[in-house]
């Protein structure tokens, strides 16, 4: 597969002309079989705002080409939801001759300047040709608490939403009651960074629910469902409940913790029961096990027994 033919405009994901949804299939990367990621462009009176830049500069270029009739008279802005590769490796399209401000949480800048980020890019470039033109292009404007883009007809509020990662943000557009949740919400399940991130994830999901969105988009899983926010929260509460139950009667060994979902009797199949669409099983089985492990570790630390 070439680098550009994987980006598609998905009109059915949006009910408002000003919000355009784009989807990138991961394509030929075996370890992410069937995975895809969405990015958005929101067109306001003053600005055209690109939310996430997908996998490579060619992806960002493809998205911008699809809205080029909207660029005249409007400033182009870029927002990164967080520093994960599938959300910001197209950033370099917006440098040099096409420079646009890249806005993100200040920790996103730290992550993109890190040795880990450089190493990860080198690793991916060795394995997949689609990353050959990727250069890390860190954010150029950062915030910590909240950032508002006053677009004229639409205002766009960038709000911290940690849990998946500490630099993760969500976007709230009050005029449309639209929440762009990125990886804070995910179908079939969101992904915790580690045990320390557990309270942040609960707080983020509660906070997003309190916004009372009428529409929610997230980066993975093709969902526009508002109910998914509640389902994701219920999923973590269920892990918490079963973990708590286990810890009342048993202190798990390290060996048992390697199969965390088994010891709390909450299998991946139970989590996705009723879902009709296919998910990348290997990926999400691993993610679910890790989520349970982190919840257990967090509870054990809280109880003071680990």
Binding track over 41-80 against Zn ion, x by CB under 5 A? ----------------------------------------
Q: Is residue 168 within 8 Å of residue 105, measured between CB atoms?
A: yes
Q: How is the chain split among helix, strand and coil, in percent rounded to 5? A: 40, 20, 40
Q: How far is the CB of 88 from Zn ion (least distance, A)?
A: 10
Query: Does position 186 bind Zn ion by CB under 5 A?
Result: no
Question: What is the spatial distance between Cα 122 and Cα 104, in angstroms, rounded to a whole number?
Answer: 23
Nearer to Zn ion, 189 or 247 (CB): 189
Q: How many residues bind Zn ion (CB under 5 A)?
A: 3
Binding track over 81-100 against Zn ion, x by CB under 5 A? -----x--------------
Q: Residue 162 has which token pair?
A: 């940690």
The residues in 103-162 that bind Zn ion, with binding defined as CB under 5 A, are none
The residues in 266-295 that bind Zn ion, with binding defined as CB under 5 A, are none
Query: Does position 183 bind Zn ion by CB under 5 A?
Result: yes
Applying CB under 5 A, the span of 41-49, 183-191, 195-203, 282-290 interacting with Zn ion comes to 183-191
Task: Tell me the backbone φ, ψ of residue 210, rounded to 5 degrees.
Answer: -65, -20
Query: Does position 167 bind Zn ion by CB under 5 A?
Result: no
For strands 47-51 and 215-218, give the pairing: unpaired
Applying CB under 5 A, the span of 94-102, 108-116, 144-152, 214-222 interacting with Zn ion comes to 214-222
Nearer to Zn ion, 94 or 182 (CB): 182
Nearer to Zn ion, 59 or 183 (CB): 183
| Residue 24, strand partner residues | 7, 37
For strands 75-79 and 47-51, give the pairing: parallel
Q: Which residues contact 142 (CB under 8 A, 6 or more apart)?
A: 103, 104, 105, 106, 108, 109
Q: Residue 104 has which token pair?
A: 């993100």
Q: Is residue 21 within 8 Å of residue 38, measured between CB atoms?
A: yes
Nearer to Zn ion, 58 or 183 (CB): 183
Which residues are near Zn ion by CB under 5 A? Answer: 86, 183, 219
């Amino acid at each position: 597969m070439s680098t550009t033919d994987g980006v598609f405009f998905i009109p059915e994901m949006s009910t408002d002309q000003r919000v355009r949804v784009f989807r990138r299939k991961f394509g030929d990367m075996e370890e992410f079989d069937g995975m895809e990621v969405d990015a958005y462009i929101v067109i306001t009176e003053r600005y055209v705002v690109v939310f996430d830049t997908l996998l490579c500069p060619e992806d960002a270029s493809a998205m911008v080409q699809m809205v080029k009739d909207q660029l005249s008279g409007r400033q182009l802005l870029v927002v990164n939801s967080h520093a994960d590769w599938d959300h910001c490796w197209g950033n370099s399209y917006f440098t040099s001759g096409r420079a646009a401000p890249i806005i993100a949480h200040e920790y996103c800048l730290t992550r993109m300047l890190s040795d880990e980020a450089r190493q990860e890019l080198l690793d991916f470039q060795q394995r997949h040709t689609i990353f050959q033109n990727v250069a890390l292009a860190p954010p150029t404007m950062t915030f910590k608490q909240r950032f508002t883009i006053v677009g004229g007809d639409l205002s766009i509020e960038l709000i911290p939403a940690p849990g998946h990662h500490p630099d993760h943000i969500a976007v709230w557009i009050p005029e449309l009651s639209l929440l762009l949740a990125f990886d804070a919400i995910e179908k079939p399940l969101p992904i915790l960074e580690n045990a320390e991130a557990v309270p942040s994830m609960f707080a983020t999901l509660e906070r997003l629910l309190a916004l009372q969105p009428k529409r929610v988009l997230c980066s993975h899983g093709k969902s526009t469902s508002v109910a998914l926010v509640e389902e994701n929260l219920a999923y973590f509460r269920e892990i918490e409940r079963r973990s708590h139950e286990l810890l009342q009667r048993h202190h798990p060994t390290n060996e048992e913790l390697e199969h965390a979902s088994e010891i709390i009797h909450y299998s991946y199949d139970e989590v996705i029961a009723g879902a009709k669409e296919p998910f990348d099983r290997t990926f999400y089985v691993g993610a679910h096990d890790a989520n349970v492990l982190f919840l257990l570790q967090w509870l054990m630390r809280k109880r003071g027994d680990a």
